[in-house]
Structure 1
Amino acid sequence: MELLLQIWGGACYLLNKVCFSRAERSLTHEQNRTWRIWSWCVYLAGLPAWVIVLVSEHNWIAATVESGGAPAMTIGLVIALRGHGREPKWLDFLARYSVILGLGLSLYDFGGITTVNQVLELCIAAGFLMGTYLMAKDKIHGYFWLMLGNVSCSALMGIQHYYILMVQQLLSLFFVVDAYRTRRNASPRQ
């Protein structure tokens, strides 16, 4: 089951980054929109597998951030489908609340921030939550936050012997860097 979860979650999250990269390389607005819709859909599809893996290792911060990322992912999908300015405000609140809940659970479970894993989880929390939220809003600096999340998550997965997910995070990093560089080198978005 563990192997299946790694393949499922890893493949979906990697495909999400590939789709972001393709969106940035799109020649038309419609192609960009299509790739962004695919990106958010596969991101949401991989979420359950990641949450199960993280909860099984008592990575409460990362697990609730991933869960809390669902509203930000949904905002991204809504914006890709409808356009900017039409996303529900309650999703922002829900995403922020999940981070606080995750930190509280982790502090309770470990009796404070006492492990390297928790430091990595905090970096994952900052990277993925901010990155996902900013990407949902189509902000280029969301890619920097995703890079922090990818590196931190890769380290945590390696420490916990989830090598498929560790490699997936490093491969995702390649596509995040590619998407950032492509966007930076492109003309300003209309």
Structure 2
Amino acid sequence: MDIFLQVWGSIGYLLNKIFLWLSEHARNGGKNASARKWRIASWAVYLFGLPPWVIIFVMWRNWIAASVEASGAPAMLLGLVLAFRGTTSNPPRWLDRLALVCIPLGFGYSLYDFGGITTINQWLEIGLVLGFLVGTYMLAKERASGYLWYVLMHVTCGWLMWIQGYPWLFLQQLVSLVFIADAWRATQKRIASK
């Protein structure tokens, strides 16, 4: 079961990064229809890959990461809806608000549940959570800064997975960084050319 969850979670989240990367390169090439398809696929596989991550975090009592990762589903859904619409303007207000409300609620509850921050794992979870939620929200709005938040997420999550003995998830985090860095670079190149 452990290996199955690692493979499922790794595939979903790595494909998300690859598809975002392909979307940015398609946009730079003026292929907006293709970019939109890759963005839709990226959000769909992101949602697909979410359950095993939550399960693994719960198994290891990583309550901060588990609760906030699960609360990131509205931001992922927002990204999928906006990608289907083909625009970031006028997002469904209820979904936009739900994503914004889940961030402090999930984080606050986790701090309450633990009675504070007492372990290195919790500090890593905080970095993971901030990078994940802010990055996902910013990318749903097609803001390049989301990629920089994802760097924080991947570094802290990779470290956490290494500490807890999940080599496949650690490797997925490292490989994802390559795609994240290049997607950010491609976005910056497109912005500079405008």
TM-score grouping bracket, smaller chain normalisation? over 0.9
Query: Aligned runs of 1:141-156 on 2, under 5 Å?
Result: 141-156=145-160
| 1:110-137: CA deviation from partner (whole Å, max 9, x where unpaired) | 3320001111111111101000000000
Q: Which moved more, 1:101-110 or 1:143-152?
A: 101-110
1:95 aligns with 2:99: yes
The verdict on how the C-alpha distance between 1:98 and 1:60 changes in structure 2, with shifts beyond 3 A counting, is: farther
For 1:63 and 1:181, the matched residues in 2 are separated by: 30
Query: Once the two structures are aligned, what percentage of the paired residues are identical?
Result: 51
Moved more, 125-134 or 79-88: 79-88
Question: Does 1:107 pair with 2:111?
Answer: yes
Match of 2:32 in 1: 29
Q: Secondary structure at the match of 2:72?
A: helix
2-structure distance, mates of 1:105, 1:176: 30
Inter-CA distance 96–139: structure 2 relative to 1 (3 Å threshold): same
Corresponding residue to 1:85 among 75, 82, 89: 89
SS in 2 for 1:113: coil
List gaps (5 residues or longer) in structure 2. none
Give the corresponding residue for 1:125: 129
User: 1:64, 1:101 within 8 Å by CA — same for their partners in 2?
Assistant: no
Identify if the C-alpha distance between structure 1 residues 125 and 160 changes in structure 2 by more than 3 Å, giving closer, same or farther. Answer: same
Deviation at 1:104, TM superposition (A): 4.0
Please tell me the root mean square deviation across aligned C-alpha atoms, in Å: 1.7
Structure 1 residue aligned with 2:41? 38
Q: Distance in 2 between matches of 1:93 and 1:181?
A: 30
Q: TM-score if structure 2 supplies the norm length?
A: 0.91
Give the CA deviation at 1:99.
3.4
Amino acid at match of 1:88: P
Distance 1:189 1:55 in 2: 45
Contact preservation (8 Å) 1:62, 1:102: no
Residues 50 and 187 (structure 1 numbering): CA distance in 2 closer, same or farther, change over 3 Å?
A: same
- Report the number of matched residues: 190
